[in-house]
């Protein structure tokens, strides 16, 4: 057996030697370099010989197909392994824009629309497409300055991180030659031919995994249950059907899961906004002059909620399996309605913020949420949510808990109503407050005390200063 291996080794070496000596000549100006390297490693069990070659011609390349030959023999004999590896150079004039990492919990997204088309010039880091995910809209930016030569995917396609969506030429002359620029190099064609069979073989396997379930259901004699994504209503005149966005589907799923998971109960109270509104009126100009941001009512409610969460820490906790997780930090989620749906950015470590810091952070997050530039990290987490339906004119509502939290505060519109103050009936700006909480964790007593604490702090903001 060892003699057969040796004969094959000698014959193959002769062929390679002839190929090296008989290499085609190249007209000047050109150069031809040959590098050969051979190494051997001998052990008691086997012997290994490796040979690699790389040929470069100015204006062209000579490539050899990778070869791997391994012969197994008894332990007392030797093995010779010959491997020839090809090298190819990438086209540096063409770069491809790829889908970026979208977040720990996001595996794919829908390519909503292209902001650029073939032939358009783009700058480095300029957005060329938008991807809609379950939570936010993410921009795909150009990796370099150049001209878009080809779009590699279509609008509406589902894409994953790393998927290439557009080819960009960095050479100005490549724009008119779109077809030539998009054609791969010989080495890429070779790699494509070699790797294509594996892709065509694996694709049917993935499809085959998705299709067996319906026949199995039918074989049992049970009708398949209707899927939520399947149309259920017959079409009618003056109706139009549009697909739900990924964000809308995600919101719908989370809200329904919240309703199915939590034992939700809502308690109400009303708050007199006179003193907080007077405080804002007295110091709004000085506040803007010093901090560069307007003093709103939301910062007062955030500070009041922080005080209440510190007073009733169970509201800041959450059930996880058979355990209760108590958080020693306070991250306040602020519900923001956008044209594309509801998003909930988070004020991190809100207990460490003053009024000005809260107002600045709320304004920053609200602008990002509105223009779609908010990131996943800026919405992840949160221990308690505040939702202000009053900006839309809501008088009263029962908000739904935002998992994995245990409670949510609902603010509403301010309405002048007759109130008894000091034995007299006077008009007062009043707001209804609603606290929805998980009754599995929070008892009614703690919930009422929590909401009462917010009411007291808002009606007398001096409590927030004195921490009483």
Residue 79: strand, helix, or coil = coil
User: What is residue 236's predicted lDDT score, i.e. its pLDDT?
Assistant: 86
Domains, the chain, with CATH or none: 94-169 (2.40.50.100), 263-465 (3.30.559.10)
Residue 442: strand, helix, or coil = coil
User: What is residue 91's predicted lDDT score, i.e. its pLDDT?
Assistant: 62
Given a cut of 80, whether residue 291 has pLDDT beyond it is: yes
266: buried, middle or exposed (CB in 10 Å: 19+, 13-18, 0-12)?
middle
User: What is residue 132's predicted lDDT score, i.e. its pLDDT?
Assistant: 85
User: What is residue 263's predicted lDDT score, i.e. its pLDDT?
Assistant: 95
CB atoms within 10 A of CB 142: 22
Looking at the DSSP bridge assignments, the partners of residue 318 are 325
User: What is residue 78's predicted lDDT score, i.e. its pLDDT?
Assistant: 37
Q: Contact at 8 Å (CB) between 273 and 458?
A: yes
Q: Which of 38-47, 115-124, 133-142, 177-186 has the lowest mean pLDDT?
A: 38-47
Please pick, among 125, 371, 377, 443, the residue that the annotation labels catalytic.
443
The verdict on whether 443 is a catalytic residue reads yes
User: What is residue 380's predicted lDDT score, i.e. its pLDDT?
Assistant: 85
Q: How far is CA 4 from CA 8, 45, 76, 79, 401, in A?
A: 6, 18, 16, 11, 76
User: What is residue 58's predicted lDDT score, i.e. its pLDDT?
Assistant: 44
For helices 298-311 and 444-459, the axis angle rounded to 10 degrees is: 140
CA-based nearest residue to 349, from 306, 396, 392: 306
C-alpha neighbours within 13 Å on the C-beta side of residue 425: 2
Region 156-164 average pLDDT:
91
Question: What are the φ/ψ torsions at residue 311 (nearest 5 degrees)?
Answer: -80, -35
CA pair distance 42, 432, nearest whole angstrom: 85
Region 307-313 average pLDDT:
96
User: What is residue 199's predicted lDDT score, i.e. its pLDDT?
Assistant: 42
* DSSP characters over 33-61: EEEEEEEEEE-SS-EEEEEEEEEEETTEE
Given a cut of 90, whether residue 12 has pLDDT beyond it is: no
CA pair distance 270, 108, nearest whole angstrom: 44
pLDDT digits (tens, 9 = 90+) for 211-237: 444 444 444 455 555 455 556 788 888
User: What is residue 55's predicted lDDT score, i.e. its pLDDT?
Assistant: 45
Q: Which of 122-131, 169-178, 299-308 has the lowest mean pLDDT?
A: 169-178
CA pair distance 305, 332, nearest whole angstrom: 9
User: What is residue 358's predicted lDDT score, i.e. its pLDDT?
Assistant: 97
| 372: alpha, beta or left? (left if phi > 0; alpha if psi -120 to 50) | left
Given a cut of 60, whether residue 4 has pLDDT beyond it is: no
User: What is residue 241's predicted lDDT score, i.e. its pLDDT?
Assistant: 86
pLDDT digits (tens, 9 = 90+) for 254-279: 889 998 999 999 999 999 999 999 99
Q: How many secondary structure helices (H) and strands (E) does the chain include?
A: 10, 24
Please pick, among 61, 139, 439, 460, the residue that the annotation labels catalytic.
439
pLDDT digits (tens, 9 = 90+) for 380-436: 889 999 999 999 999 999 999 998 899 999 999 999 999 999 999 999 999 999 999
CA-based nearest residue to 109, from 376, 302, 360, 421: 376
CA pair distance 42, 392, nearest whole angstrom: 80
165: buried, middle or exposed (CB in 10 Å: 19+, 13-18, 0-12)?
buried
Region 300-310 average pLDDT:
97
Given a cut of 70, whether residue 292 has pLDDT beyond it is: yes
Kindly give, in sequence order, each residue whose CB lies less than 8 Å from that of residue 311, ignoring residues fewer than 6 positions away. Answer: 449, 450, 453
User: What does the CA dihedral 402, 405, 407, 410 come to, rounded to 10 degrees?
Assistant: -40
Region 158-169 average pLDDT:
92
User: What is residue 7's predicted lDDT score, i.e. its pLDDT?
Assistant: 52
Exposure b/e, 330-351, CB count within 10 A at least 16 = b: bbbbbbbebebbbbbbbbbebe
User: What is residue 14's predicted lDDT score, i.e. its pLDDT?
Assistant: 52
The verdict on whether 412 is a catalytic residue reads no
Number of residues that make up the chain? 468
CA pair distance 310, 307, nearest whole angstrom: 5
CA pair distance 419, 431, nearest whole angstrom: 12
Q: Which of 53-67, 108-122, 282-296, 333-347 has the lowest mean pLDDT?
A: 53-67
Share of the chain above pLDDT 90, in %: 48
CA pair distance 345, 368, nearest whole angstrom: 9
Region 100-122 average pLDDT:
87
Binned at pLDDT 50, 70 and 90, residue 49 comes out as: very low
C-alpha neighbours within 13 Å on the C-beta side of residue 301: 26
Q: Contact at 8 Å (CB) between 279 and 462?
A: no
User: What is residue 248's predicted lDDT score, i.e. its pLDDT?
Assistant: 82
pLDDT digits (tens, 9 = 90+) for 426-439: 999 999 999 999 99
Looking at the DSSP bridge assignments, the partners of residue 268 are 434
Region 314-331 average pLDDT:
96
Task: Please tell me whether the overall predicted TM-score, pTM, comes out greater than 0.85 for this model.
Answer: no
Peptide bond into 404 cis (omega under 30): yes
User: What is residue 80's predicted lDDT score, i.e. its pLDDT?
Assistant: 35
Residue 392: strand, helix, or coil = helix
Question: What are the φ/ψ torsions at residue 162 (nearest 5 degrees)?
Answer: 95, -15
Given a cut of 70, whether residue 200 has pLDDT beyond it is: no
Binned at pLDDT 50, 70 and 90, residue 183 comes out as: very low
Given a cut of 50, whether residue 210 has pLDDT beyond it is: no
CA-based nearest residue to 340, from 132, 158, 109: 132
Q: Strand 407-411 vs strand 384-388: parallel, antiparallel, or unpaired?
A: parallel
């Amino acid at each position: 057996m060892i003699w057969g291996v040796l004969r094959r080794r000698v014959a193959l070496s002769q062929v390679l030697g002839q190929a090296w000596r008989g290499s085609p000549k190249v007209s000047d100006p050109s150069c031809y370099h040959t590098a050969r390297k051979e190494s051997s490693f001998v052990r008691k069990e086997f012997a290994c010989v490796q040979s690699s070659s790389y040929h470069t011609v100015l204006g062209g390349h000579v490539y050899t197909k990778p070869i791997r030959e391994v012969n197994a023999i008894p332990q007392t004999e030797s093995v010779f392994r010959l491997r020839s590896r090809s090298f190819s150079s990438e086209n540096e004039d063409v770069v491809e824009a790829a889908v970026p990492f979208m977040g720990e919990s996001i595996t794919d997204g829908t390519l909503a629309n292209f902001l650029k088309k073939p032939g358009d010039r783009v700058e480095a880091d300029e957005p060329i497409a938008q991807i809609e995910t379950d939570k936010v809209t993410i921009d795909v930016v150009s990796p370099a300055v150049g001209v878009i030569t080809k779009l590699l995917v279509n609008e509406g396609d589902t894409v994953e991180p790393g998927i290439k969506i557009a080819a960009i030429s960095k050479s100005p002359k490549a724009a008119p030659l779109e077809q030539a620029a998009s054609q791969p190099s010989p080495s890429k064609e070779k790699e494509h031919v070699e790797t294509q069979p594996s892709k065509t073989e694996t694709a049917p396997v993935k499809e085959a995994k998705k299709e067996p379930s319906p026949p199995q259901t039918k074989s049992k004699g049970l009708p398949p249950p209707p899927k939520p994504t399947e149309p259920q209503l017959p079409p009618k005149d003056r109706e139009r059907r549009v697909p739900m966005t990924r964000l809308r589907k995600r919101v719908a799923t989370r809200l329904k899961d919240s309703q199915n998971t939590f034992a939700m109960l809502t308690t109400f109270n009303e708050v007199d906004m006179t003193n907080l509104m007077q405080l804002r009126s007295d110091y709004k100009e000085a506040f803007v002059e010093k901090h560069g941001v307007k003093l709103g009512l939301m910062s007062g409610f955030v500070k009041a909620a922080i005080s209440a969460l510190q007073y009733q820490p169970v509201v800041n906790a959450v059930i996880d399996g058979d355990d209760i997780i108590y958080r020693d930090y306070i991250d306040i989620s602020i519900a923001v309605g956008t044209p594309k749906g509801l998003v909930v950015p988070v004020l991190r470590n809100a207990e460490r913020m003053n009024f000005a810091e809260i107002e600045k952070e709320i304004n920053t997050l609200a602008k990002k949420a509105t223009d779609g530039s908010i990131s996943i990290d800026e919405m992840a987490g949160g221990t308690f949510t505040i939702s202000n339906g009053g900006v839309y004119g809501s008088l009263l509502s029962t908000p739904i808990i935002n998992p994995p939290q245990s409670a949510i505060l609902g603010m509403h519109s301010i309405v002048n109503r007759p109130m008894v103050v000091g034995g007299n009936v006077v008009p007062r700006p009043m707001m209804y407050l609603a606290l929805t909480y998980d009754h599995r964790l929070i008892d009614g007593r703690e919930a009422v005390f929590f909401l009462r604490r917010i009411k007291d702090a808002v009606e007398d903001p001096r409590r927030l200063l004195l921490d009483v």
